[in-house]
Structure 1
Amino acid sequence: MMDTNDVLVAFIAYKEKTGGKTRPVLLISKRGRQLSVFRITSKYQSKSPRIQKAYCHIVDWQQANLRKPSWIDVGQTITINSEKIKVVKIGTLSDADVFRLSEFIEKHRLEAK
């Protein structure tokens, strides 16, 4: 069973080229087999300051069963069909990270206006 704030692994297609990769994602909502997710990345330092502004740090990344320090990319919501793409749950965000993410998203939305 998958729930909101679960960390999943799924194949995510690239936006601007063909192909994609299997990567961790955060489940933010689900409607039947349609899952809305945010990408999770470990590539923070190499990104521009503009992109970094959309990245929320996962403080308790080990508790979420991630292999290395990671960030949630709130810049784009991705919809995947769990009937067509294999999705595996690997962990869950800590309550503290869920709270931080909620505040981060609110701040990010206010700054985007």
Structure 2
Amino acid sequence: MDSLFKIYWFEVKFQDKDSSKTRPIVTIIFNNEALSFEVLGVYSIKDKYKTNPYYKSFMYEVKDWQQANFKEPSFINIARPMEIPFTALIGKKYGGSLTTKDVQGLMNLYNNYWLAR
């Protein structure tokens, strides 16, 4: 599908608070029955994501972050997928898309992470 692995700016609710934050998300799977996307949140670089083995197991480091139009090196959290209706992305700011290399790396980590669960 043409709209997969695209980056949009979206209001994401915090799990432990009653507030939210606008952040980039990446579309990874489209559910034809529910007409919804599974999306993952994108986070700016933090040292702990690069060095701590705990985070390395579920934070994918975007290799071609500049081609994806990120302002700085970024990570995608594969441990907290969200499902949103496709209509929720209508009118949202489009940010870019992942390169083929990052799509392959992201989905390898995603599949390995969820197969182990």
Which interval holds the TM-score relative to the shorter structure? 0.7 to 0.9
Q: CA deviation at 1:80?
A: 2.4
- Aligned CA-pair RMSD: 2.3
The aligned counterpart of 1:80 is 84
> Is 1:60 the equivalent of 2:64?
yes
Contact preservation (8 Å) 2:64, 2:99: yes
Aligned CA distance change for structure 1 residues 25 and 49 (closer, same or farther; 3 Å): same
Map 1:1-113 onto structure 2 (within 5 A). Answer: 3-31=3-31, 34-46=36-48, 49-83=53-87, 87-110=92-115, 112-113=116-117
Aligned CA distance change for structure 1 residues 83 and 60 (closer, same or farther; 3 Å): same
Percent identity, please: 23
Question: Runs of 5+ in structure 2 lacking a partner?
Answer: none
Instruction: Number of aligned residue pairs: give it.
Output: 111
Contact preservation (8 Å) 2:26, 2:40: yes
Question: Runs of 5+ in structure 1 lacking a partner?
Answer: none
